[in-house]
A and B are shown apart, each in its own frame.
Chain A
Amino acid sequence: MNEQPFEPKIIGFLCNWCSYRAADLAGTSRMKYAPNVRTIRVMCSGRVDPTFVLKAFANGADGVMIAGCHPGECHYLVQNYKAMRRFAMLRHTLRALGMEDERIRLQWASAAEGNVLAAAVDEMVEQVRALGPLNWRERFAENGRMRQAVERLAEEHAQAMEVPA
């Protein structure tokens, strides 16, 4: 019924100071790149709450890109390191849920790196295209393995939180 080729839908969180400016620069330089990343401007990559990412996946996104200033170049000094730590935890959780690593990407792009951002978008779009649609809801509903993974994750967390007597 669906004759059109699969076009991945990716949500991109771009920090105001580096990556959004990189996107501006890619625009003024007329660099052509894949139109699949739909962007949200946030002040800092540190603003990206992991639940935003989950929300995007739950509502039909096939991938999420978080882009910020290079480590050591954050407009807010160190907040991109916090984004980096959150990203590691988020990826761990998503992996446990059975999601492919390529569907979530942390990309550093300075205000001067329009080409870097454009190349990263192109690469990610191709990777997600190869994986196919995420179909989060269907996969979760049909795949017993994922339910088990979630239960195991909850167990792991409970164990980790337990204070030894």
Chain B
Amino acid sequence: MSERVGVYICHCGSNIAGKVDVVGLAEWAAENLEGVVVARDYKFMCSSLGQELIAEDIQKEGLTRVVVGACSPHLHEKTFRRACANAGLNPYLCQMASLREQVSWVTEDKALADAKSRALIAGAVGRVQLQEPLQPTEVPVNPNTLVVGGGIAGIQAALELADAGRHVFLVEREPSIGGHMAQFDKTFPTLDCSACILTPKMSDVGQHDDITLLSYAEVEEVKGFVGSFEVRVRKKARYVKEDLCTGCGICIEKCPWKVKDEVFEVGLGTRKAIYRPFPQAVPKYPVIDRENCAYFKKGTCKACEKFCPTDAIDFEQQDTFLDLAVGNIILATGFDPFDAGRIPQYSYGKLPNVFTSLEFERMCNAAGPTGGRIVLRDGVTEPQSIGIVHCVGSRDQNYNPYCSAVCCMAALKFGHLVKEKTSAEVTSFYIDLRAPAKGYEEFYDRLLGEGMKFVRGRVGDISDAARLPGEKGKLIVQVEDTLLGRQRRIPVDMVVLMTALEPRADAHQVGLKFGISCSMEGWFTERHPKLDPVATMTDGIFLAGTCQGPKDIPASVSQGAAAAARIQGMITKGTVLIEPVVATIDAERCSGCRICNNLCPFNAIEFLEAEGVSHINQALCKGCGTCVAACPAQAITGAHFTNEQISAEILGLLYDARQPVAEPAAV
């Protein structure tokens, strides 16, 4: 039976119609393409009127197939499938041709744009006639959720879900949750004390009946799909039994080994070999740092074990593995600060009084290594002048082209803290001052009033080479003041480098583990940059916080809450539809050669010994089609991407190149 195809060409305002002759294209399709019974063009096919046009034709013209030439199927395939389904046509009998992303937006020449549009429409018309009705499978959604990363975004997401009565597994790599926010002193622009607003949320997480907190743990492996993921978590050995430890801290007090704390105190302070990153850590259980513990290095000491009142120390503890079943996953893995040592002219690591912003945060923090005093590297001298350098490693083609979004406001906050705590002069060296959120511009105005100085220009060099009077013993900031239009040398006692936010060094590996992709820089890619910044291309995996891109605390919290809301919706609905794009083996044609058996990375193909044929477990099949392409007997069919459908598409795309098939010469 021949199919009745309807072709719909979208103008997309002038987005497509400005380059492609849409009217001519529809006429051409109606006249030249076999099977086409209706071809129309319309201003906006995705509008409800455009969709009604399709629905009407399905009913009145008895269409059995629909082709929409519009934008990318990644944008509106769902829209048009739904329109077909509403009119009683199986949604998988609708095919899109990307005339906007692949033709009108990328082509200069109008005639060539018309030729390519015709090819894409001809390909879609050829293929759609061989498409078959399919039914998506409905699978249940496991109400448990995994949150990876216990910074503010992960904490918010976990609490939102747990407060709604859903169970959450929160996995954190470090010994305590809290993330970068726990290291900060104050938060802009309201100057709330960071710990004061964060620690209550941390203890909520620690005490919540519906949150299983797995700190000092990492995700090893992720299997399955939306609704039912199987996750393997490695819980690293703490060498402290969590069921016995009361968190009294005597072990930490008695441990005789001090080491530099490179993580929480960013090298400014020390901690013991058995430690808690900070006093309000959640969970309260300490961790033994194997690298620096005298017992692990030399076999003696055990001071912690001797003094522990509950016998909670266990030097024999091993890493353990937990297998979790969850329906959805939120990634909130955060950022890494830019390594300021990579910019040699800023002399970080060479000149002692050049600090990074994170070091300065710790210094300002009353619980930090200097007790909140702003002092030079010697630990005593109060600086008389401080220079704050913006955009260190960001907005710089040599390092990262993007803006890190938070540094301008953090620099203003630092200016305020300096003014509050010392009598020092503060000068900010900025390129552009960015204060685009609620209360931010007002904060900038406030700092102008407080006497913070601003020099517009990128700092070229920071050195201690004194040339002019008054420069001796100072750090000299060399900058082109672009408002004055001249070079300046500004001597200061201390420099703070506002380092960029960078993607985690292992973001690519983590992305692969969860089956999601990264941008060129390494930020996780959201499903849509504007309309869906929370979901990813992999169903059931969501993003929150800075792992998706630089953002401040309010934005991270919003995204954490949004991810939780999305998942809560899926749990409430109870089931999720899975695309029916899977492979099947025709047992009649299968020769039992087993070539396909080892091709599947999801172990979906098994060999049935009794029947002597291979068989695909459709629940495990992800629909990549590699086995379909490999089967020498063509016994495997990949639904919605069959050999016949793709071949028809090839022939359609080459509508203007095909030559009459010559009879093969007799051999």
Chain B interface residue number, banded: 35 or more
Partner of B102, one of A7, A23, A69, A141: A23
Q: Please determine whether B625 and A35 come into contact, CB atoms closer than 8 angstroms.
A: no
- The residues of B that contact A17 with a CB separation of less than 8 Å are 517, 537
Instruction: Given A23-B101, A60-B657, check contact A40 B581 (CB 8 Å).
Output: no
Q: Please determine whether B112 and A35 come into contact, CB atoms closer than 8 angstroms.
A: yes
Whether A113 sits at the interface, judged by CB under 8 Å, is yes
> What's the least CB distance linking B516 to chain A, in Å?
9
Whether B123 sits at the interface, judged by CB under 8 Å, is yes
Whether A77 sits at the interface, judged by CB under 8 Å, is yes
* Separation of A43 and B582 alpha carbons in the complex (Å): 11
Q: Please determine whether B519 and A112 come into contact, CB atoms closer than 8 angstroms.
A: yes
Q: Please determine whether A43 and B106 come into contact, CB atoms closer than 8 angstroms.
A: no
- The residues of B that contact A118 with a CB separation of less than 8 Å are 106
> What's the least CB distance linking B649 to chain A, in Å?
5
Q: Please determine whether B647 and A30 come into contact, CB atoms closer than 8 angstroms.
A: no
Residue ID in chain A nearest B665 by CB atoms: A141
* Separation of A20 and B120 alpha carbons in the complex (Å): 14
Q: Please determine whether A76 and B622 come into contact, CB atoms closer than 8 angstroms.
A: yes
Whether A88 sits at the interface, judged by CB under 8 Å, is no
Q: Please determine whether A56 and B525 come into contact, CB atoms closer than 8 angstroms.
A: no
Instruction: Given A28-B105, A112-B520, check contact A82 B599 (CB 8 Å).
Output: yes
Partner of B581, one of A30, A43, A51, A83: A43
Whether B107 sits at the interface, judged by CB under 8 Å, is yes
* Separation of A38 and B120 alpha carbons in the complex (Å): 7
- The residues of B that contact A46 with a CB separation of less than 8 Å are 624-626, 629
* Separation of A39 and B113 alpha carbons in the complex (Å): 14
> What's the least CB distance linking A127 to chain B, in Å?
18
* Separation of A141 and B666 alpha carbons in the complex (Å): 12
Q: Please determine whether A42 and B646 come into contact, CB atoms closer than 8 angstroms.
A: yes
Q: Please determine whether B512 and A73 come into contact, CB atoms closer than 8 angstroms.
A: yes
| Binary CB contact string for chain A from 15 to 39 against chain B (1 if under 8 A, 0 otherwise) | 0011011011011101111011011
Whether B659 sits at the interface, judged by CB under 8 Å, is yes
| Binary CB contact string for chain B from 571 to 597 against chain A (1 if under 8 A, 0 otherwise) | 000000000010000000000000000
Whether A93 sits at the interface, judged by CB under 8 Å, is no
Whether B116 sits at the interface, judged by CB under 8 Å, is yes
Whether B90 sits at the interface, judged by CB under 8 Å, is no
Whether B601 sits at the interface, judged by CB under 8 Å, is yes
Whether B74 sits at the interface, judged by CB under 8 Å, is yes
- The residues of A that contact B112 with a CB separation of less than 8 Å are 7, 35-36
Q: Please determine whether B106 and A32 come into contact, CB atoms closer than 8 angstroms.
A: yes
Partner of A60, one of B602, B626, B646, B654: B654
**In the complex, the 8 A-B pairs of residues with the closest C-beta atoms, listed nearest first:** A60-B657, A27-B101, A47-B625, A46-B626, A44-B624, A76-B624, A49-B629, A38-B653
Interface residues of B (CB under 8 A from A): 72-74, 98, 100-103, 105-109, 112-113, 115-116, 119-120, 123, 508, 512, 515, 517-520, 525, 537-538, 581, 599, 601-602, 622-626, 628-630, 638, 641, 643, 646-647, 649-651, 653-654, 656-659, 662, 665
Instruction: Jot down 25 A-B pairs with beta carbons below 8 A, ordered by A.
Output: A9-B654, A17-B517, A20-B72, A21-B74, A24-B101, A27-B102, A27-B105, A33-B106, A40-B123, A40-B649, A40-B650, A43-B624, A43-B638, A46-B626, A49-B629, A52-B647, A55-B650, A56-B654, A59-B654, A59-B657, A60-B654, A69-B517, A73-B517, A75-B624, A112-B520
Sample of 4 further A-B pairs with CB below 8 A, known A32-B107, A44-B626, A79-B624: A7-B115, A47-B638, A76-B622, A112-B520
